Structure 1
C-alpha cells in the first residue's frame, strides 16, 4: 500500500469524525440563532429587520448543516467521489454564508446605537396612543432599569407624549409600596440610566454572539473543505488508475 492510499484511508476516517463535529456545530448554530431570535423578537419594534434576518440565517444554516452532513458521511464511508465532491461544494456554500453572518453581525454591532436611537425616538411619540408601544417601553424600562432615551429628562421635555410626566416604569418601588405611587425626578427608585445605553449593550451582546459564531465556525469549516476535496480527488484518481 503506497503513501497516498494510506493517507487517503486515514483522511476518510478524519472526515467521518469531522462530520460528527460538523453536526455539533449545526446544533450550536441552530441554538444560537433560535435563542437570539427569541430575544430579538420580544423587542422587534425597537430593532431593524436586519437583526431578525441575521438570526434567521443562522437557523437556516444550522438546518442545512444537518442535511449536508449526510453527503459527507456517505461519501467518506462508501468512498463515493461524487457525494464527497457534493459535500465539499455545499461546505463552501455554508462557509460563505457563515462569513456573511459574521460580517453582518460585526456591522450591526457597530450600527446598533444609531439604529436603536432612531427606533426609540419614533416609538416614544406613540407611547400614549399605542398599547403595544406603551407595553414595550414599560417592559424595557423595567427590565433594563433605564428611563427615557438618554435619561429621564426625555419624558419631561415639552414635546414629550406624557405631558412632562415620568412613566411609573421608570422607577423601582419598594415591595411594600401601596396606594397611588408616582415616579418623579425626586423618587429614590428613579432609573437614571438612559435606555439607549442599556438596551444597546444588550443588543450588541447578541450581535457579538452572531458575529463570533459565524466567523469561528466558518474557520472550522475550512478543515472539512480541505479534507473532503482531497478525499474526492484521491478517490477519483484511484478510479481513473484502475
Structure 2
C-alpha cells in the first residue's frame, strides 16, 4: 500500500528535490574546479590554505552526485532505511559545504598578507628561475601591472632602472628595453592589488556557493525526515 495525501506530496517533493540536488552537485563541482584552476595560476603567490576550500567543494560535488541515488530510490520505493541514509548523508554534506563556504570567506582576509609576502619573495628569483620568470611575465601581461606594489620593486632584481619587458604596454621594443624612465610605456598598476582582487573575488564566490547551497540541502534534510516519518507511521498502522 502506498502513501496517501500529504505523505505522498512529501514523497514527490523529495523526488523533485533530488533532481535539483543533482544540479547543485554539478554546480558545486564546477565552481570548485574553476576556482581551483584560477588559484593554480597564482600558486607561487598563495599557500595551501587557498587550495583546500575549492578541493573540498570538488569532493562535496562528487559525493552529492553519488548520494542522490539514495534519495531518488528511497523516495520512489518508499524505503525507510534508504531515506534515513540519504538524510544522514545530507547532514554530513551540509556541514562540509558550510565549512567550505566559511573557509572561502576566511581566505578573503588572509589574501592580502600572503600574496604580498610571496610576491616579494618570488620576485628576487625572476632572473634565475625560468618558472618564476614565466609566472611574473604572465601576471604582468594579464593584469597590465608592474611589480608587487609599484615599478620600483624591480630595483631589487635589476639594481638599476631596468624593468621586465612585460611591464611595458608595448612588447615590440626593438631599440630600447623597458625601463623606469619610459613613463608612457610601462604599466603603473600594482600586481599585488590586481592578483589580490582576483583571488578575493573567487574566495567570495566560493563562500557564497558553499553557504548558499548548504541551506538548499537543509531543505532536503527536512523533506527526507518528513517522508521517513510518514513511511514509518504508515507501516506501523498496517
* TM-score, normalization by structure 1: 0.93
Question: Is structure 2 residue 181 aligned with structure 1 residue 186?
Answer: yes
Moved over 3 A (4+): none
Tell me the alpha carbon deviations over residues 125-184 of structure 1, each in whole angstroms, 9 at most, x when there is no partner: 21111111111011111111111111101112xxx122232111111117xx45233112
2:215: which partner in 1?
A: 219
* TM-score, normalization by structure 2: 0.94
Report the 3-state secondary structure (helix = DSSP H, G, I; strand = E; otherwise coil) of the residue aligned with 1:129: coil
1:40: which partner in 2?
A: 39
Residue in structure 1 matching 2:169, options 148, 169, 172: 172
Tell me the alpha carbon deviations over residues 185-231 of structure 1, each in whole angstroms, 9 at most, x when there is no partner: 23212111111101100111111110110011011111100000111
Question: Is structure 2 residue 204 aligned with structure 1 residue 208?
Answer: yes
Distance in 2 (CA, whole Å) between partners of 1:92 and 1:80 is: 19
Q: How does 1:34-113 map to 2 (within 5 A)?
A: 34-113=33-112
1:235: which partner in 2?
A: 231
* Offset, 1:39: 1.3
What 5-or-longer segments of structure 1 have no aligned partner? none
Q: How does 1:18-37 map to 2 (within 5 A)?
A: 18-37=17-36
Distance in 2 (CA, whole Å) between partners of 1:162 and 1:34 is: 38
Distance in 2 (CA, whole Å) between partners of 1:178 and 1:216 is: 50
Distance in 2 (CA, whole Å) between partners of 1:180 and 1:163 is: 21
* Offset, 1:71: 0.2
Distance in 2 (CA, whole Å) between partners of 1:197 and 1:43 is: 13
Distance in 1 (CA, whole Å) between partners of 2:25 and 2:173 is: 51
* Aligned residues between the structures: 234
Question: Is structure 2 residue 192 aligned with structure 1 residue 196?
Answer: yes
CA RMSD in angstroms comes to 1.3
